[in-house]
Amino acid sequence: MPVIRPYRPSDRAAMYEICVKTADAGEDATGILSDDSLWGDLFAVPYVERHPDLAWIVESDDQRSIGYIVATDDTDAFYTWFRDEWWPRLSERHPRPAEVTTREDRMIEYGYTRGPGLDPNTATYPAHLHIDLLPETQGQGLGRRLIETLFAELERRGAPGLHLGMDPKNVGAAAFYERLGMTELPAAPGGKSYGITFG
């Protein structure tokens, strides 16, 4: 039976692998972009760099990392750090596009435009998360256990609420969040957001 444990620095490479293998609305995104690492550079690894204490790994019986949850308890502070410290390190690997025409361009531009105050949901729901599980983990209650582990820690820290954004095409994930008691929030066109308050 897989176990859930705190993130360790040795999990970093696995974070990239799990992220890309689940990035296309829950399906494998390998090869969709010219650089598979872009997914992890945006949506997984900065969280464990900034908040290793808000990251948990699903470890298989044979000690492979096969899923994770990562989070921040303060979205605006996280995106200030992302803008000022994290993304500048990646500017050579992901140069800003002159024109934004492709999916890859849009993702790179997303990296360049992160900053505080962009999401109106952060006032009530300041925390946010990303959760990714390889297909072999699914249907075992591990996603729920990861979420419950994170929520317990956020409540312990006094976080008032959490939001998340997702690809609307991932209907399974939307149903999962609704089963956990999350409610749909306003979202940018083409996106979908959920939130929950604590306490």
Sheet containing 183-185, strands listed edge to edge, beginning at the edge strand earlier in sequence:
3-6, 55-59, 65-72, 127-133, 161-166, 192-197, 183-185
Inter-residue contact 169 to 25 (CB < 8 Å): yes
Asked if residue 185 has pLDDT above 80, the reply is yes
At 76-115, the pLDDT tens digits run 999 999 999 999 999 999 999 999 999 999 999 999 999 9
Question: Whole-angstrom Cα distance, residue 84 to residue 136?
Answer: 37
How many whole angstroms separate alpha carbon 33 and alpha carbon 106? 11
Domain boundaries, the chain: 3-197
Res 188: pLDDT: 85
The band of 46, judged by pLDDT with boundaries at 50, 70 and 90, is very high
As a whole number of angstroms, the distance between CA 175 and CA 180 comes to 9
Check whether 52 has a pLDDT greater than 90: yes
Contacts of 129 (CB under 8 A, 6+ apart): 69, 70, 71, 147, 150, 162, 164
pLDDT value, residue 155: 97
Domain 3-197 bears CATH identifier 3.50.50.60:
no
pLDDT (mean) for 147-164: 97
